[in-house]
Structure 1
Amino acid sequence: MVIGESLPKILFDCLPIIKLKPGEMDKFLHEKIYVCPVYKTSARRGTLSTTGHSTNYVLSIELPSDKPQKHWINRGVACLCQLDD
């Protein structure tokens, strides 16, 4: 029930469907998580907006983790949106 290492030579892997449920921030536990960015595409061509994020950036989601955030940041872990056509 936590984010785990990918298998060797696997660059992209599926993440289970995540249901986004709005709520009050102070009621959520913010422990043992990785704040994972979600992007529209894997292309690194978005321009930097006034918010400091790429225009390719959608939002961040908190994934349960048994490792510190720095571990996943060093690996460049991010999520990509699946666009339904």
Structure 2
Amino acid sequence: MEELGSTLLQGKVPAEWLSVSYPSLKSLGSYIKDLKARVSFFQGWQKGDEPSMFWLPGFFNPKALVVGSMQNYSLKIGVPMSGVRLVVGTPRDSYVDSGLCVYGLHLEGASWDQSLCSINEAKPGVPYYEMPELTIFALEVGGAYQDDWYSCPLYNSPDRKKSLCSSCNLSNYIVSIDIKCHESPEYWIKRGAAFVCQTEE
């Protein structure tokens, strides 16, 4: 009990809480705020219809939602999952209506040009760029969208370690999503550009 009280006074999330919680790197105050937002999101879903937009970081296992949309598309067109890729769409794309609308992501190592719907140079002093609402849709590999696309990895947390917790066997890496780029994909690989669901704050 003394150790628990000391941890709380330091503004940290107690290990006892994290042992039965979703993985988080946040401080105590940010963790409580995040927990309340998660409860509110799912209570709203429970009381009403399926939301038109999904708060991806609010899911314990975001991979299930994203990969599920890939699987639905692969079954629809009759190709294996390995033949499907995820792409961030623009409002001009005819595919967007069948996509997965998400919000709450951050972009590390880069920023976002909303007018061009493409990755851009990082803003000075902004380690995690808050992304606007995105529509992610699946396409068959070898179809449209071939060149000038960066396969941007999506992680649960920015530390990018392989596993988030040993008890739940939850992988930190979720999936890669193709986004438009004006430089070569190698340019963004060297900068370590990636989507993250959670930040430290």
TM-score range, shorter chain: 0.7 to 0.9
Change (3 A) 1:70 1:22: closer
- Cα distance in 2, alignment partners of residues 31 and 66 from structure 1: 10
- Cα distance in 2, alignment partners of residues 26 and 44 from structure 1: 29
Residue number in structure 1 paired with 2:133: 17
2:130 aligned counterpart, secondary structure:
coil
2:186 aligned counterpart, secondary structure:
helix
What amino acid is the match of 2:187? H
Matched residues, percent identical?
28
Residue number in structure 2 paired with 1:42: 158
- Cα distance in 2, alignment partners of residues 44 and 26 from structure 1: 29
Residue number in structure 2 paired with 1:71: 187
What amino acid is the match of 2:125? K
Residue number in structure 2 paired with 1:5: 121
Relative to the length of structure 1, the TM-score reads: 0.75
- Cα distance in 2, alignment partners of residues 41 and 74 from structure 1: 19
* Residue deviations 1:1-55 (CA, integer Å, cap 9, x gap): 12110111211101222212223223222111111000011123324xxxxxxx2
Instruction: Work out which structure has the larger RCO, using CA pairs closer than 8 Å and 6 or more positions apart in sequence.
Output: 1
Consecutive unaligned residues of structure 2, counting only runs of 5 or more, are: 1-115, 164-170
- Cα distance in 2, alignment partners of residues 34 and 58 from structure 1: 16
Residue number in structure 2 paired with 1:29: 145
RMSD between aligned residues: 1.9
- The answer as to whether partners of 2:152 and 2:177 remain within 8 angstroms in 1 is yes
- The answer as to whether partners of 2:154 and 2:195 remain within 8 angstroms in 1 is yes
Aligned length: 76
Higher strand share goes to which structure?
2
- Cα distance in 2, alignment partners of residues 3 and 29 from structure 1: 15
Of the two, which has the highest radius of gyration? 2
Residue number in structure 1 paired with 2:4: none
Deviation at 1:74, TM superposition (A): 1.1
